[in-house]
């Protein structure tokens, strides 16, 4: 099952960048982030209700859920469409998430006390070197340093939250906490979405002339229900059962799919990008080989 979840998440998240691009035809970054979180939360809440599995959280646990909702959902789900819209590219920024494993590796050492094997260390460092090439390529093509740094904050946030979930929320079942992450993340964006002046000041307003509403709405529905609801749930289950490093490796495959979609949209694919992605895939093989063995979990309940 971990490999099925791995492949499924790679596929739906690899396509999420072109879906965000299509949604941006009529919606702004905050609306896209809030929309996908809301739809995903609705889908998971329906599933949770069907399971009939009530869960009570302690006050401290609510605080941990809030941290993940902010850093792992609200912020990155707005930043990603924002940088894509500003630079008019989605394939390039799809490659940025490949930084998640190296960030996860570094964060897991002090937070979880998990030290990588020699093979994992070689693979992740190799992937990082490929990411350096990708960042350099973007700067050579005129993408501003500010946008690149903002985009790089997304994988760092993801890596932190992956380790944080394993550290503080591993004992809680996946469906309830994932539903809470998404619902709280959407709720935090609600005041901003209904503040037109703030959106305009931040450069996150909807297009002045929205277009292709049917395409934008269809993209949002699929992105929210499948890419966010189902995808985030399966990802968090991988974090809980296989560990954040294994789960984070999906972000080495996502850039490949993002580049393929970029070619479909006639975005520029440079030789440096192609070489870097080939290197990334090689590092995936190095790190993932035989890595899908469950990690021990303290008093973990049945996951649903």
Task: Give the pLDDT band (50/70/90) at residue 298.
Answer: very low
- Listed residue (89, 95, 92, 120) closest to 105, CA to CA: 120
pLDDT in tens, 127-168: 778 878 877 888 887 888 889 899 989 989 998 998 899 899
Is residue 76 within 8 A of residue 187, CB to CB? The reply is: no
Residues 226-280: pLDDT tens digits? 999 999 999 898 888 877 767 777 777 777 777 777 777 777 777 777 787 778 7
Mean residue pLDDT across the chain: 84
> What count of other Cβ atoms lies within 10 Å of the Cβ of residue 144?
13
Q: What is the CA radius of gyration of the chain?
A: 18
- Kindly list the domain boundaries of the chain, sorted by start residue: 2-288
Q: Which two tokens stand for residue 222?
A: 């699929």
C-alpha span between 253 and 6 (Å, rounded): 10
pTM: 0.86
Within the chain, where are the H helices? 2-14, 16-23, 29-51, 59-69, 75-87, 91-94, 100-112, 118-140, 145-168, 174-193, 196-202, 213-222, 231-242, 244-248, 250-264, 271-288
In 10 A of CB 95, how many CB atoms?
27
Report the candidate in 70, 3, 10, 32 with the shortest Cα–Cα distance to residue 220: 32
pLDDT at residue 194 in the model = 92
Residue 296 has pLDDT above 60, yes or no: no
Whether pLDDT at 112 is above 90: no
Residue 236: which residues within 8 A CB-CB, separation 6 or more?
Answer: 165, 174, 177, 178, 181
Of 33-42, 81-90, 176-185, the one with minimum mean pLDDT is: 81-90
Q: Rounded to the nearest 5°, which phi and psi values hold at 294? A: -60, 145
Q: Identify the pLDDT of residue 300.
A: 42
Tokens 């690149």 belong to residue: 148
């Amino acid at each position: 099952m971990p490999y099925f979840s791995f492949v499924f998440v790679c596929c739906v998240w690899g396509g999420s960048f072109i879906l965000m691009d299509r949604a941006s035809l009529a919606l702004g970054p905050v609306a896209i982030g809030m929309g996908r979180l809301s739809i995903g939360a609705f889908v998971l809440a329906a599933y949770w209700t069907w399971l009939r599995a009530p869960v009570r959280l302690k006050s401290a646990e609510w605080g941990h859920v809030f941290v993940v909702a902010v850093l792992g959902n609200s912020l990155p789900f707005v930043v990603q469409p924002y940088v894509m819209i500003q630079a008019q590219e989605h394939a390039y920024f799809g490659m940025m998430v490949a930084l998640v494993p190296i960030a996860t590796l570094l964060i897991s050492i002090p937070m979880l006390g998990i030290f990588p094997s020699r093979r994992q260390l070689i693979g992740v460092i190799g992937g990082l070197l490929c990411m350096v090439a990708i960042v350099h390529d973007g700067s050579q093509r005129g993408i501003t340093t500010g946008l690149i740094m903002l985009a790089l904050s997304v994988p760092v946030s993801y890596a932190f939250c992956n380790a944080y979930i394993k550290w503080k929320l591993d004992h809680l079942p996946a469906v309830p906490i994932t539903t809470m992450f998404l619902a709280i993340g959407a709720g935090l964006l609600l005041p901003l979405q209904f503040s037109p002046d703030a959106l305009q000041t931040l450069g996150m307003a909807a297009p002045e002339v929205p277009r292709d509403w049917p395409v934008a709405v269809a993209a949002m529905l699929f992105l929210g229900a499948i890419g966010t609801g189902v995808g985030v749930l399966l990802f968090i289950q991988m974090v809980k059962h296989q560990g954040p490093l294994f789960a984070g490796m999906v972000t080495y495959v996502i850039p490949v799919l993002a580049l393929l979609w970029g070619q479909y949209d006639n975005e520029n694919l440079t030789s440096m990008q192609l070489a870097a992605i080939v290197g990334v895939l090689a590092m995936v093989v190095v790190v993932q080989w035989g890595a899908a063995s469950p990690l021990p979990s303290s008093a973990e309940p049945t996951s649903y």
